Amino acid sequence: MVYVIDFGSQYSHLIGRRVRALGVEATLLPFTAPLSQLKNAKAIILSGGPSSAYAVGAPSYSKQIFTLGIPVLGVCYGMQLMAQQLGGKVERGKKGEYGPAILKTVRSSRLFVKVPKQSHVWMSHGDIVTKLSAGFSLIAKTNNSPDAAMANEKKKLYGIQFHPEVEHTDYGTMILKNFLFTIAKCEKDWNISGKAEEKVAQIKKTVGDAQVVAAVSGGVDSTVTAALISRAIGSQLTAIFVNHGLARKNEPTEVRAILSQLGCRVRYVNAKKQFLSKLRGVTFGEQKRKIIGGEFIKTFDRAVKQMKSRPTFLAQGTIYSDVIESAAASSGKTARVIKSHHNVGGLPKHLKWKLIEPLRDLYKDEVRELGEALGLPRALVWRQPFPGPGLAIRVAGEVTPEKLRIVRDADQIVRDEIQRIKKEDEFYHYFAQVLSQKTVGLTGDERAYAYPVVVRIITSSDIMTAEWARLPHEFLARLSWRITNEVKGVTRVLYDITSKPPATTEWE
């Protein structure tokens, strides 16, 4: 078992995901967890975090962790905390280092076996280690971080200022492999198929003979959740699909067809007018999310009251990235909220349901693997991700029927064109976004004020980090031509070339 001690980084869970992707079981623990929980650890990784190690009240951990004889890897804040606690010194750097940097190794180390002397890494810090602890050697540096990596080879203690868990670090996976297998001698003991049976058993034990109602949107997460719970308890599950009027083109029909294949009871609720009415005049994305989340709960509550038997549990397709971006998983309250998710944070106190979220510890790629392990059709499992609030957050500013029509039609064209060039499996996400500010254009020989549409196409393995897709100009030109010619009310198309970070996947 590898334990990742969470100091509030947005990437803490991603470290665990990378470890699991290498076949080793990993568990995230808050920095408040007692030392006794680490007794069976094969290795320990200290995560990054937004605090300064030298600040009063900064998150910390018992320095006895470094005397257990267990290999420890400190990442970013984790490195700084290690240095601070073992007699080194951490100070504010003259300038921050955020984004790509060139790492130069200066001494051989088991951590950097098969890593070139010079490689690209991803940095995200303002503090630096200015004095190494006794017994440590400098093993790498960057232009802005003279001590970018340190090692005490004898005690198997290592610190790196950069993030090996993100895709932007060229040899991050190799560094983790070196730490896990060469240094810590871990064994491969993690696979998603075994996890499926484990989760089925957990659901049976948790639910017993109670009734469960599932909030199913037709997306990957909620559908896999329904399939998993259905396998565990069968007819005790009722899947409720709420048509909030914010779905993609033709999606309500497609969703109902998918749900009919799961073999569980399905209830359909048409709530389009209700949701659009509540969103009238609302322009801020966070407020939209909260309104939609609240209306979902109300709608489910009404639908459930019409059922013959009252359910005890509400199942949701919450996954790791939802939790991280809402900062709901950081027990030390050190994570920063990026955006709230309507399915994160629990239920209102007046509702008596208990939450069951079987995917809460899995990332999107793991959820897809789980779906395939459950025997779901590949077309369903690899369905394009779609946020719970739907097109409300792909419409900048106020949500109106006109904007919804524009974004639906434009989005369908994007999907059609991706399918035409047979790239559905190559990109993680591809969709259209309509902006709120009209711009001038030409329709025939007349000036026209119309909405700009933004196309976003990204590549990613886990959505914690993402890169914009480098597409041929001819393809982008065809997209622009089709959208401006076939979608009424659009005279301008833009292509989003921003990575994550600094951007998020969605605009709102």
- Which residues, other chains included, contact 162 with Cβ-Cβ below 8 Å and sequence gap of 6+? 75, 76, 101, 103, 121, 122, 123, 142, 148, 149, 169
Residue 499: half-sphere exposure toward Cβ, Cα within 13 Å = 12
Question: How far is CA 379 from each of CA 48, 78, 253, 255, 368, rounded to the nearest angstrom?
Answer: 37, 41, 16, 12, 11
Q: For residue 442, which phi and psi values (nearest 5 degrees)?
A: -120, 130
Q: How far apart are CA 243 and CA 264, in angstroms?
A: 18
Asked if residue 497 lies in contact with residue 463, where contact means CB atoms within 8 angstroms, the answer is no
Q: Using the 8-state DSSP alphabet, how is residue 422 labeled?
A: T
In the set 163, 168, 342, 429, the catalytic residue is 163
13, 97, 165, 342: which is the annotated catalytic residue?
165
State the DSSP H helix or E strand holding residue 215, giving kind and residue range, or none if neither: strand 212-215
Look at the alpha carbons of 208, 209, 214, 219 in this order and tell me if their dihedral is positive or negative: positive
CA within 13 Å, CB half, 259: 26
What phi, psi does 104 have (nearest 5°)? -120, 115
> Is residue 76 annotated as a catalytic residue, yes or no?
yes
- Three-class SS state of 5: strand
CA 295 from chain center: how many Å? 24
Considering Cα of 328, then 3, then 102, then 146, what sign does the dihedral take? positive
Catalytic residue among 13, 76, 244, 264: 76
Question: Which amino acids are annotated as binding site for ATP, given as ranges?
Answer: 217-223
- Please confirm, yes or no, whether 186 is among the known catalytic residues: no
Binding residues: 217-223
Matching residue, tokens 């020989």: 445
Tell me whether residue 91 is one of the annotated catalytic residues: no
CA-based nearest residue to 476, from 408, 395, 426, 418: 418
CA dihedral 7, 8, 9, 13 (to 10 degrees): 90
Q: How many residues does the chain have?
A: 508
Residues classed as catalytic: 76, 163, 165
